[in-house]
Each structure stands twice: as structure tokens, then as C-alpha cells.
Structure 1
């Protein structure tokens, strides 16, 4: 083949360069330049709380050795925007000059960084003095004594799963989910969380297999939990009386319901702040559990900083148990003694 003339070669290179795809750099604005109201509306937190969160995980999200990449500030705020506003990752990324793929990686990275701090923010009381303080806070709700936590499960919707185990993620309402167990205190702070069980798993089984139950069984706590009728009555876990026979039992139920409502309010506030918990998680299953724990950490940080805004009309995927586990004689005796002591007329 005859060699191309030098002018022909130059012309061919120019044609190739003219069809080559140009890399487009998206502009990034400074979220902290927004006023306080707009910032909280977009990023679910006050600026001071967001700054605390960024500083908490900064070392895990630092730039590379050349000083390039996405700053910890943009990474954290991008992830929070994705989780909080029910926006697809591409839309959230557009606000910060990031591609969809980069936004997805950032959400995973930030979730893992936050989850590493879970032991510092999600914990049951470690001293009797702390238990007494929590008992007093619950008692002020409806005069129900010796309570250190309210427990319940909530379903977090996930993407359709494949494989042989897919059917076990379908709950009674017919959608794929994880059944997440949460124990909270009187200030709606999450004290314990179990986020690994498939949607078809019964609430009582999750508790029976948890380390929390083991700690109560071995006497680590002097107080007790309140749960709904989906849990088995235990000396350390009181449930409602399904058919009260006298006024004392009715008063017990009224106080129980009003006090245990704390955990339902906790779910409402948690899911109100992070809409992905309310409408469904779109990330891969292996990242869902880590993200749920990370969102529990963020929820507790908001409570600690007084950054909680209660709104009415918040609903969540509540699933009432159809099964009532049988209680043993000793648990029934402990409950009756408790009612006679604290709720007798």
C-alpha cells in the first residue's frame, strides 16, 4: 500500500481529534454558602451538625497524596442528600459536579466511615446511674417505672433480590425488605440496632437471636424493655395484656402504650429525615445493612445536637405481628406482681 502523504496524515489526525469525546468538568458550588434554612432543607441538618459529622469522618475521607479528589465536605453532603431527599444518585451528583458512578462510590465510602463509629453512638447504658436516669426519663412520660428502652422492628424496603434465598426477603405485605430491630430511649435516641435479618423473619426471633437478649438474660441490666405483642413476655420485657380483666390491667396497658409509643416516634423521625428508609433503599444488598447502621449513627448525632424536627403525618412500613408468642408462668407472675405494686387502684 502506498504511504500516505504527510499532508494526508495531518488531515487524518485532525479528523480523529475532531471526533474524540471531550471530557466535561462539572462545576462545584459551596453548600455552606447557602443560608441556614436552605441548607437544612437540602441536607437535613443544621450547618453546625453537618460540620461535626464531616469532622468525625474526615480522616476516612481524606484526599489522595496529590491533594486531588472530592473533599470530605462534598462527600458527606452528597451522601446525606442522596439518603435524605430520596433523590437518585445522579440527580444528587449533578448538584455537586459528580458523576453517578462517583456518587455511588461516595455513598458507600461515607456509610462505611460512619458505621465504624457505631459503637460510640449506639450503645445501651453501661452503669446503674445511667440506667436510673433513663428510667426517670421514661417514667415522666406516663409513670411507667423501671423502663430503660422500648423495642420494635420496622421493615426497610430493598431492591428485588435474586438467588435461592430471594423468597425469604419478602415480608407479609409482599415487598422485599430487611426487618430491622431498634431499641430506643425516651429521647428517641437509638440504643441498639440489628440490621441483618430478612423481611420474612418474625420480630421475636430477631430478639431471641440478638446479643441484647443475652445481656438481659445474664443480668447486665436492672431495668426492662417494653415491646408489643409480637414479643414473648419476659421478666425483663413487658408486653401489653391482650384481654385486661380489671381496671389495674387497663391502667397498665394505657401506660404501656403511651410509653412504648416512643419507639414508633423514633421510627417516624428517623425515616422523615432519611427518605430512603421510608421509600426504599436502592443500593446493593451488601451495602444496605452498613447504610442503615450509618443512618442510625446520623440520627443519634442529630438527637445529641438538638437537631431534631418533629413533623406530623409521618408514616412508615409498620407490620403488626400476627403471632403472639407464649409466655411462661414466671414471667406472668412477675407481670402481675408489677401491676399490683404500681397500677393497683
Structure 2
């Protein structure tokens, strides 16, 4: 087995790059990135006084930690490790190394992205939007959809699964007398969600005109389950999730919001705003129907962001000074000449 730095270095890298370019037919840009990553590997090994066939798993872990400490994102580190792992796998297949030092090394987990939630003012603006030029039937329906999504924190599938009234075949339904929504969530788990006053008011307005759909009676004969839905289309059948996505996008633009709103953004907004006001994580978990509280805990990060913004705006010592700037000390004991 070759052990010289020269043999177990540039020559192996060049042969491997030729292999991925010709035999694996990787894209030119991918080959360029492989070359960069392998040059870094060879440089690390040379700095440690090692040939590439003497690299151990501990060395790989140390170099990975250096990448992380230098600010490389977990996804970027994963790509580097993937390249190194593939390189050593090829060396093993060629009989040039006895083991793959990268085999059991994994990149740090990427931080779970924060859910996108609306600011309270933006959520209220969307909920209170009224378009006088829209058809009154559609306006009443769409307004109720926004209020229920934001006021109850439902998933879009839970919303579209609601029926106008309880029955033995209903997946879910609303009870305005009790101000409750009976919801069938993920894993066929049923939960009761309270309906707030604004959502209840919007639902009553919708119930007052729902029966005016010209196609409802015909649809009831053709598709009774679809016609029993709480929210129906102009064709008299259950609204689809895609239709809800579309109407939310259109209403958010009409409301002048900076970004289009989707159903899950209103669910995130519901959770974040309730948590900001109550700090009751268990209650929010129950309202959202999360099986694991760890899923709900992500909203505490949103809540901290909110608190940080309030602090930055309100606390007299929160405003960052320009770099290098320091307040001049007062000297009340100046001697006068």
C-alpha cells in the first residue's frame, strides 16, 4: 500500500475526479466542487503531516468541527462530508485504503426553521378585510374561513373536513350553540376546539347565506357528503384545500400584506399569538392537536423573537451603539483657570 504524501495525495484526487467525470458523468459544476472539497481534504492532511491513506475518523471529526466553527452551514458541511465519503469509498474499492474514515461521520443537524407567523396587526387586518365589490355570498364564506383558520388554529384539511352540522358520517362539525368545533386531526385523533366570538359571528353570517347557493340542492342529490360540508364552492360541493390556499393568497394581497398568506401560516399565527398572551404551552399543544409537546415548543422561539423586538424598541439600554463608539464621561469637577 502506498504511503507517501505525493502518491496518496494529488495523484489519487486526480484519478478520482477523472472517475466521477467520465464514469459517473457528474455535471461539470459538481466536479468543480468535488475538486475544491478534496483539495481542502488534502491540505488538512498535509498540515497534520498525514498522507490521505493515514487519515483517521478523529481527524475527519476535527476538520468538520473546524468547518462548523468557521461558520459553514450544516448543509454545506454535509455536502463536503458526502464528497469525502465518496472519495474514500472509491479508494476502498480500488484497494488503496483499508477503511473509510468518513463512514460514520455526520454533519451537525440543521436548525429547524421557524414557522412563519403573521404579526398580530397583519392577522387582524386580514381577518377584518371586507371587499364591498365581491359577491356577498363568497365574501361571507371567505371571511368565515379566515376567522376559523386564525381563530381556531385548524389545519386546512381539518377545516375542509368540517360539516355544517353533526351527523354519524361527519368527520368534523361546528356547534355554534356550544361555541365548539369538533375536529378530526392527524392520526384520526378527535379534539374539541373553542370557537371565539369573532369566528362565531363570521360563521353565523355564513350560515345565513350558505343555503343561497343555486347548485346546492342539485349537488346534494349527486354528492350528499360533499354538500354537507361547512364550506362549499359555488358548485355546492365541499371546498378543496387548493381552493382555500388560492382564496387566502388573493385576500392577503387585497389586505396589502407584504407576503401571500397560506393556511398553515394562520395556524402558526394562532399558536404564536395565544402563546404570547398566555405562556401556556400545554394549552397550545391541546388546541393544535400536537401529539408531542416538542412540536409545540418551536413556537416558544417565535415568542422569544417577539419579546426581543419589544425589548429592543422599549428598553433605553437596548439600542446598539455604533461599533467603537463610547459615551464620553462627564467631568463635573473641571478646574477653571
Assess same fold via TM > 0.5. Answer: no
Structure with higher Rg: it is 2
Higher relative contact order (CA 8 A, sep 6+): 1
Q: TM-score, normalised by structure 2?
A: 0.20
Higher helix proportion: 2
**TM-score, length-scaled by structure 1:** 0.20
